[in-house]
Chains A and B, each alone.
Chain A
Amino acid sequence: MKRVLIQDTNGKLKKETREFLVSLNSQLRDRGLSSEVQTLMAADIGVYNRGIALKVLPEGFTYVNLEQKHIPEIIEKTLLKGEQVAGIAREGSVGQMRIVLRNCGVIDPESLEDYIAHDGYQGLARALELGPEKVVEEMKKSGLRGRGGAGFPTWMKWNITRGVQGNEKYIICNGDEGDPGAYMDRSVLEGDPHSVIEGMMIGAIAIGATKGFFYIRAEYPLAVERIQKGIDICYSRGLLGKNILGSSFSFDIEIRLGAGAFVCGEETALIASVEGLRGYPRPRPPFPSVKGLWGNPTVINNVETLANVSYILCKGGEAFGKIGVEGSTGTKVFALTGKVRNSGLVEVPMGISLRDIVFEIGGGVLDNRAIKAIQTGGPSGGVIPEQFFDTPVGYESLQKLGSIMGSGGMIVLDENDCAVDISKFYLGFCVDESCGKCAPCRVGGTQMLAILKKISHGKAEEEDLARLSQIAQAMQKASLCGLGQTAPNPVLSTLKYFMSEYRAHVIDHKCPAGKCSSLVSYRITREKCTGCGMCARVCPADAISGSRQDKYTIDAVKCISCGQCFDVCKFTAVSRQ
């Protein structure tokens, strides 16, 4: 039996799609094929903004921009003969490549057998055969760079630590994932814990570590539970402890919990936290590779990095190195969120364009609004406006635009998002999470936030924009750790690309996006008002009064500019300025 899945991929063609379906069903009936073909509306067939589209199973042919005139050929060629119809077939599909997420959604994360059935621990077995030097070689061939954000070549970090003399070496998995909106690591820890455990063990072999730690933020209880289960199972089956897989390699793993501090995702602060001290970063040099946990050579790797490691040792570094682009090999998992249709985790090969990620995989902007920018890299990143959407994703390419890839946060902003508000949000996050050790971040961040608040309330002067810039530079140059050094990035990035919005706030006391409530006012246009009273009903401040006869008006004094009336009015009688 064939299945035809149909979808209105623009979101605006409900009627037309229904009619298409009716016509298709009727033609199938005429041809006596009703019992051979099931037709149904699907929720999503992976194509966006291409009119009426359909997908045929089991073949998987996808046809786009359909009209009823295409139906006969579809029936004739595809449904009867199983052949593809040219001309309406979807061109050049952009797809995800699941390496890090290879087992997520496939295996039972609490089952060791399921993991092994999918080539689990083959990488470990191979690493034991190869030995430390060759393992590093393999990693070098893969070109894998740290996925936590810094992008430091993993092979190099391991090699340095391998070369440092030390009785006791450690490897730590950084599961403190703190970027707002980023949850890639959480999904891997929950969905495929063994891939990270295996990756850690391979790293331990490379550097000569006998003890490993998982540092997982306490806000991820399920991840902690699944990793702990994974560790326990490994111990019970001899995959952890002494003489693993019959070799001379012995390894122990322990979980340490974070306690609500974003700064503890920074290497040296993480180490301080594991040591039981206040999560304060430490000056580098010495680097953790040389002098880390309790003064010993330590490697800290991100969850996603380690999930890649187990794959690389299993399938080979060279094969991995062919994925992506030069300098940024492999894939990257992005947490695509914001004003996008399909928010979730997407894993794509490096080099794919931002446009493809957001529009081809993400499905484009919610409610078909105009896109304003894509924010990448979380609180350390920046905004990327539309003119750069064809930029291929990679470490250096995003840096050139004034942003970073970071840990993979990707937030879609539309016309209703205000650049000032976005930078205020991220800076507010950094100020909240600042550890307070160094003055540039502790005071600088607070001062910058105070200025941004002034701007969003329309109380700033032009001089304040210069002050913002001055503090931002000092923070970037003089902060002790990455948190302070990169906290100004969203501000600097929005200043660079959306200066006009800042100036509107400062000089005209207006918020063009309509977000900053102090600068937005709402009016009801009498001519458009039908007197339905919906606005008055939703107003939380009792600021709207009137009647069906007299129409409705907003009392500007009582109005708190929440925008509820604007959202609810079906007649666009409420205007915003």
Chain B
Amino acid sequence: MAMTKEDLLAIKNKTLAGQPKNWIRVGYSTCGIAAGAKEVLEVLSGEVKARGLELQVKKCGCLGLCSAEPLVEVSVEGAPRVIYGKVNKDVAHKIMDEHVCQKRLVEGHIYEI
């Protein structure tokens, strides 16, 4: 059924209402992918699944801080929302272990600008 103007509002409200409390966004445009975001995404998604966490891992566009790609933004209850840069496999694991699980921010990779 073709969309109507009312549908727009309805979809907006529904989507906003359904926003997850915990989420991770991975920069997944050309700059991110070129820097290795694919592997980072795999690690994060893999860990979320393995640990059975209620955490949405989602691809997003370029945040603009291209020299720090791969970029990962993390928002989980119990810790402030931050952006991590120059994330690789190891840092991704640390994000899961330390930030997500232990609510401790990971050293040396925060881009809080």
Binding site for B on A (CB under 8 A): 1, 3, 5, 38, 40-46, 55, 57-58, 96, 98, 101, 103-110, 113-114, 116-117, 119-122, 125, 183, 186-187, 190-192, 220, 222-223, 237-239, 241, 243-246, 341-347
Contact = CB atoms under 8 A, between A and B. Distances in A.
For A105, A117, A346, which residue has the most chain B Cβ atoms within 10 angstroms? A105
Contact of A125 (B1, B5, B59, B65): B5
Top 3 closest A-B pairs, CB basis?
A: A191-B61, A238-B2, A105-B63
Given A43-B111, A55-B112, 6 more contacts: A1-B103, A3-B105, A5-B110, A43-B110, A109-B29, A109-B61
Nearest to B60: A105
28 contacts: A1-B103, A3-B79, A5-B112, A40-B110, A43-B68, A44-B68, A44-B110, A46-B113, A57-B112, A104-B64, A105-B73, A108-B60, A109-B59, A109-B60, A117-B11, A117-B15, A186-B30, A187-B61, A190-B29, A190-B30, A191-B60, A192-B61, A237-B2, A238-B1, A245-B8, A342-B68, A343-B67, A347-B64
A247 B17 CA distance: 28
B50 interface: no
Interface string B63-103: 11111100101000011101001100000000000000001
Contacts of A244: 2
A341 B85 CA distance: 14
A110 B79 CA distance: 28
Contact of B113 (A45, A103, A110): A45
Contacts of B78: 1
A506 to B, nearest CB: 36
A324 to B, nearest CB: 19
Contacts of A125: 5, 8
A343 B60 CA distance: 19
A497 B71 CA distance: 39
B108 A43 contact: yes
A43 B29 contact: no
Interface residues of B, number: 48
Contact of A343 (B2, B58, B66, B105): B66
B56 to A, nearest CB: 10
A51 to B, nearest CB: 17
Contacts of A223: 30
B113 A246 contact: no
B109 interface: yes
A543 to B, nearest CB: 34
A347 B64 CA distance: 9
A240 to B, nearest CB: 10
Contact of B62 (A42, A105, A122, A341): A105
B62 to A, nearest CB: 4
Nearest to A109: B61
A190 B105 contact: no
Contacts of B8: 116, 120-122, 125, 245
Contact of A43 (B25, B66, B79, B109): B109
Contacts of A1: 78-79, 103
A119 B103 CA distance: 32
Given A57-B80, A105-B60, A116-B11, A41 B68 contact: no
Given A116-B12, A187-B29, A222-B30, A344 B67 contact: yes
B64 A108 contact: no
Nearest to A124: B8
B95 to A, nearest CB: 13
B110 A117 contact: no
Interface string B24-59: 010101110100000000000000000000000011
A183 B58 CA distance: 23
Contacts of A55: 112
A57 B103 CA distance: 13
A342 B65 contact: yes
Contacts of B82: 57
Contacts of B19: 117
B110 A42 contact: yes
B87 to A, nearest CB: 11
B11 A113 contact: yes
B3 A106 contact: no
Given A44-B112, A114-B15, A222-B30, A187 B62 contact: yes
A238 B105 CA distance: 44
A333 B85 CA distance: 21
A38 B110 CA distance: 13
Contact of A110 (B59, B73, B108): B59
A96 B60 contact: no
Contacts of A341: 67
A91 to B, nearest CB: 17
A533 B35 CA distance: 34
A104 B15 contact: no
A557 to B, nearest CB: 40
A1 B104 CA distance: 10
Contact of A191 (B2, B62, B106): B62
A106 to B, nearest CB: 6
Nearest to B33: A222
Contacts of A104: 29, 60-64
Nearest to B112: A45
Contacts of B61: 103-107, 109, 187, 190-192
A117 B15 CA distance: 6
A346 B64 contact: yes
Contacts of B85: 43-44
A108 B29 CA distance: 11
A51 B16 CA distance: 42
